[in-house]
Structure formats: structure tokens, C-alpha cells
Amino acid sequence: MPQHTLTVAGVTVDTRHWIGGERLASATTFTDISPIDGAVLGEISRGTPAEADAAVAAARAAFPGWAATPRTERARVLHAIADGVDKRLDELAIVETTDNGALLRSHRRGVMPRVAHNFRFFADRLLALGHEDFDTRGHRNHVRWDPAGPCALITPWNAPLMLESWKVAPALAAGNTVVLKPAEWTPLTASLLADIAARAGLPAGVLNVVQGYGSEIGDALTSHPDVRRISFTGSVPTARRIAASAAPHLTPTSFELGGKSPLLVFADADLDLAVALAVEQYDNAGQVCLAATRILVQEPVAGEFVRRFTDRAGRLRQGDPRDDATDIGPNIHPAHLDKIDGFVRRAVAAGARAVIGGHRIDSRYYAPTLLTDVDQDAEIVQEEVFGPVLTLQTFQEEAEAVRLANGTRFGLAATVATGDPARAERVTAQLVAGTVWVNCFFVRDLRAPFGGARSSGVGREGGDWSFDFFCDLKNTVTAPKGWQDHG
Ligand code: NAD
């Protein structure tokens, strides 16, 4: 008798798909392992195109009912999902940490409350959504946000439930139905979300979860004629494949992709603050799309910056992410660690110097690394490593700093440390990035647009921008009674 559940720290997780309000097992499975110690967590249903099709069919069948559900009722259900997340917050936190290796204390205090907040925020935003009617020669223009249809939502492993809820909440609020495909390295919390949503009263088929490899079921979702929106967070090569697969049906896509963001440290900055911002980039073992992995420091303070940085980074504690004292946990997978190590080895072979780190600790942990003596066109400066690896370059003048900062194909975020407000304004105006922080990092408000320029993404989500993406906007022009105007 095949087993369809696994248990993590006493929490039972169903390992099957969730399609049309029912659990469905695949004929084959894949193995889910914990990055903390390599322990096998269990066998997960390995989706096939047939199951992806079934999930889209369920989403299509449920669409008319959910689209016609009054906004107030949709908002009520989303609030109930948020309540369900809050109720299971500790369970979600430990399951997520076990599955992806990020810090338990972050999941408890920051990430899971944010997941609940995503549902509440988009529920409330839905109720406020509207555009003032306007008049054209006596004709009334009325703008509506009509639901678009079934949406395919595809997410990565570095912040699984956080990124899933960031897409699921606005898609459902907008009146759409959803097929969610979580990353194969972190399948568990999506399954728990399905349980929570069902318990909250979300009708069957409105949210479907299909597990499996993107390479095996991705195409079936993204080329499906009934899928009306694709929201994807992940890597640039996968985005290219999805764009090609979505092209025949011109399915609208929203892409949130990788980055190689700069941290600009000017000589007039509060140096301790700048160092703290720099060390923060090792969070989640460097597996953060927004991470400012390229530190650019003005020449006169570079030596002192490196000294203080080395001191502070040296106090970071690396270890089990379930331990509250830990600052840096494991990387997601030994295969990913190999990739990180490859980047560093090639950089060092090309002349880079590891001021700290530069090596793996074992098959799961990589030492926090700072590389100097790197050229702007070096691979380590141009390509996303997605590990605890930072580079440091120096500059003389503001214009040079901006040139270096903008000198990659990415444009997700940038951080500026300066004590001069006029400089801050000048520099931020010139930076190519979806988000710029001045003397801070990772302050994110759900009302703000979020996304990347250049290869870091296509489109913006967040606030009303999410509704713009997930809806078909319609303008209705109504003539006043008795009006005969064909002009
Ligand atoms: P990835 O592109 O390998 O995988 C992401 C998801 O896409 C997974 O669910 C995967 O199964 C799926 N997928 C793979 N091939 C597919 C295909 N052909 N069709 C459809 N889906 C497919 O990325 P990853 O390694 O999981 O994530 C890391 C990347 O995500 C990094 O580049 C990181 O910067 C980026 N990221 C971006 C943001 C952002 O908001 N901009 C946030 C987090 C992560």
C-alpha cells in the first residue's frame, strides 16, 4: 500500500497533488530530502502532463463560479485562509525550514506572518479596487477589473510559501482560479496551503497544486490554451523556455527573475551601517534574488570597510537553521553547492582573492565568502551565484559607481549607502533597478510595485499592479439616454 503522507516534526503533509478538491497520486514519485542533514523526508507524487491537464481542467471548471462570487465573499475566504495560516504558523515554519533550510526564527517571526499578510492585503485591496468613472461628451466611461481565467503559478525553492502566497492571493482575489506548481526541491508547504484553503471554504478547483519537475510538466501548463495568465518566479533560462511555450497562445506572462544587485558605499556613508547592510546579504545562505552581491566601495574608505566587514562577518554563526543562535543555514542541495563552488573556483583561478571564505565546509554548507580583485566583466561579477558569495570592487567617482552598478544584464534591486541626501537622489535616479533602497535593505511594502528591469524580469506585481496583471481590464462606454452620437 503506497504511503501518501509524510511527517515533519509531528506535522503530517499529504504528498499527492490537489486537483479539483481531491488528492490524486501519480504513478511515480520523486524523493524530497532536507538540506539540513540530507535526511529523506518522503516520496512526492511526480506529476505528468496528464495531471497538469487535469489541474487546468479543474481550474477551468471552477472559474465561472469563483469569478461570479461577490468580491466581499472572495475577500472573506481569503481572510479565512490568512487565519488558517496564522493558526498553523509554527507548523508551516518548521516544515518550511526542514524542506528548504532557511532559518526557523525567520520563518516564525517574519516569513509566515507575511504569508498571512499577503492574503489579507490582497483581500482588502480587492474591496478598494476601482477607478473613477469619467465622461466623454456626456458618455460614461466605466473601468472594470474582470477575472482573466485559470492561472499557472510557478515558484522557486528559496522562499516557497512566501512567493506562492504572493501570487496565489492576488490571483484568487481577482476572481481567477489557480494551478500552483511549487519547486521540486520544496514541495511541502504548498500541500499544507491546499489543506488550509480547503478548510477556509475555498471551493473545489479554485486552487489546485501539482507537484513535480518543471522540465516534465512545465510545458503542459505554460502552453495550455485554457491558461490565461502565467506568473513565474525563477531563473532566466526557465523564463525563456516559458516565454517560448506561452507564445503560440500569446498567454500574458509575469516574470520575476534573478539579480546581481549592487550595494554602493560612498565615503560619506555611516560605515557601520554600510557594513551591516553588506553582511545582511548572507541571509538565507545568499539564496535571495534581491541580494546585493556586488559591493562597490569608494576608494578612501575601502580598507576600513573591509576591516570592519571581516570582523563582523567573522562573528556569523553557521549551522542548523532550527537553532535560534544560527545566522546562516545550509544551501538548498549538494548539486547547488557544487554550482556555487564552481563559480568561486573559476573566479579565484582568474585572479580573485578570497578575503574570507572561498570554500565549502561540507556537502551542504558553504563558507561566507568575500572576493576582491575582480574585473567588471568577470563571470563572478556578471552572473548570479545564488550562494553566500559577495564581490567587492572600488570606485573613485560617483559616475564610475553608477556605471559599475548598472554594468550587468540584470536590474532587480540596488542599495545605496550615503550620508548625502542630494547624492542619494542623483544616484538613485540613474540606477537601473526595480527597487532601490537608500541606507536600508529589504523593506518591502505590499502596496509597492515589485519586479525587475532588463533580464531581472518582465512586468510588475504588488499592490494594484498585481490586479492589472491578473485581470482583463474592460472599459464600458455608455451613452446617456436619448443620445445619438456616432462621431
Ligand atoms: P528555476 O527557474 O530552476 O525553477 C523555478 C521553477 O520553475 C521551479 O518550480 C521549476 O520546477 C520550474 N520549471 C523548471 N523548468 C520549467 C519549465 N520548462 N517550464 C515551467 N516551469 C519550469 O529557478 P530556481 O533555481 O528554483 O530558483 C532560483 C532563481 O529564482 C534565481 O535566479 C533567483 O534569483 C530567482 N528568484 C527570483 C525572485 C524574484 O522575485 N525576482 C525571487 C526568488 C527567486
271/223 same-domain check:
no
Using CA atoms in the order 284, 290, 291, 293, what is the torsion angle rounded to 10 degrees? 140
235 Cβ below 6 A of ligand 1:
yes
266/327 same-domain check:
yes
Q: Please work out, in degrees rounded to the nearest 5, the angle formed at the alpha carbon of residue 294 by the alpha carbons of 306 and 409.
A: 165
Considering the domain boundaries, does residue 444 fall inside one?
Answer: no
Considering the domain boundaries, does residue 443 fall inside one?
Answer: no
95/132 same-domain check:
yes
Query: Of 164, 289, 384, 471, which one is the catalytic site residue?
Result: 289
Extract the runs of DSSP E, i.e. beta strands, from 73-222.
134-136, 139-147, 150-154, 177-181, 207-209
Q: Give residue 234 CA to ligand 1 midpoint distance, Å.
A: 2
Considering the domain boundaries, does residue 445 fall inside one?
Answer: no
Q: Which three cell numbers stand for residue 156?
A: 522557486
Query: CB neighbours of 319 closer than 8 A, spacing ≥ 6?
Result: 325, 326, 328, 329
pLDDT score, position 482: 82
CATH assignment of the domain containing 170: 3.40.605.10
431/456 same-domain check:
no
Annotated catalytic residue 151: no
Q: Give residue 58 CA to ligand 1 midpoint distance, Å.
A: 25
DSSP 288-314: -TT---EEEEEHHHHHHHHHHHHHHHT
Answer whether 266's CB lies under 8 Å from 417's CB: yes
40/57 same-domain check:
yes
**CA 240/CA 426 separation, integer angstroms:** 34
Considering the domain boundaries, does residue 20 fall inside one?
Answer: yes
Residue 122 DSSP class: H
pLDDT score, position 173: 98
251/273 same-domain check:
no
275/154 same-domain check:
no
Count of beta carbons in the 10 Å neighbourhood of residue 404: 18
Answer whether 122's CB lies under 8 Å from 215's CB: no
183 Cβ below 6 A of ligand 1:
yes
Query: Of 91, 164, 184, 256, which one is the catalytic site residue?
Result: 256
Residue 203 identity:
P
121/230 same-domain check:
yes
Considering the domain boundaries, does residue 88 fall inside one?
Answer: yes
Considering the domain boundaries, does residue 284 fall inside one?
Answer: yes
Annotated catalytic residue 256: yes
Q: Please work out, in degrees rounded to the nearest 5, the angle formed at the alpha carbon of residue 254 by the alpha carbons of 98 and 99.
A: 5
202/279 same-domain check:
no
DSSP H/E element including 271: helix 271-279
187 Cβ below 6 A of ligand 1:
no
Residue nearest to atom 34 of ligand 1 (CA): 258
Q: Please work out, in degrees rounded to the nearest 5, the angle formed at the alpha carbon of residue 467 by the alpha carbons of 462 and 473.
A: 145
238 Cβ below 6 A of ligand 1:
yes
411/465 same-domain check:
no
Considering the domain boundaries, does residue 480 fall inside one?
Answer: no
10-residue mean pLDDT series, the chain (487 residues) = 90 98 98 97 98 98 98 98 98 98 98 98 97 96 98 98 98 98 98 98 98 98 98 98 98 98 98 98 98 98 98 97 98 97 98 98 96 98 98 98 98 98 98 98 97 98 97 97 69
**CA 401/CA 263 separation, integer angstroms:** 10
Ligand 1 atom at minimum distance from 456 CA: 41
154 Cβ below 6 A of ligand 1:
yes
User: Which residues does residue 417 pair with via DSSP β-bridges, in sequence order?
Assistant: 265
**CA 450/CA 454 separation, integer angstroms:** 14
Number of structural domains (the chain) is 2
pLDDT score, position 392: 98
Q: Give residue 457 CA to ligand 1 midpoint distance, Å.
A: 12
Residue 136's SS3 state is strand
Say what the pTM is: 0.97
Residue nearest to atom 8 of ligand 1 (CA): 183
291 Cβ below 6 A of ligand 1:
no
Q: Give residue 138 CA to ligand 1 midpoint distance, Å.
A: 49
Q: Which among 151, 142, 209, 220 is positioned nearest to 182, based on CA atoms?
A: 209
Q: Give residue 399 CA to ligand 1 midpoint distance, Å.
A: 34
Ligand 1 atom at minimum distance from 157 CA: 26
CATH assignment of the domain containing 368: 3.40.309.10
170/120 same-domain check:
yes
291/229 same-domain check:
no
Q: How far is CA 351 from CA 156, 236, 420, in A?
A: 33, 27, 35
Answer whether 414's CB lies under 8 Å from 433's CB: yes
Question: Using a CB cutoff of 8 Å and minimum separation of 24, what contacts does 60-65 make?
Answer: 60/149, 60/150, 60/177, 60/226, 61/20, 61/205, 62/20, 62/177, 62/203, 62/204, 62/205, 62/206, 63/147, 63/149, 63/150, 63/176, 63/177, 65/203
Q: Which domain holds residue 234?
A: 5-257+452-475
C-alpha atoms less than 13 angstroms from C-alpha of 318 in its C-beta half-sphere: 19
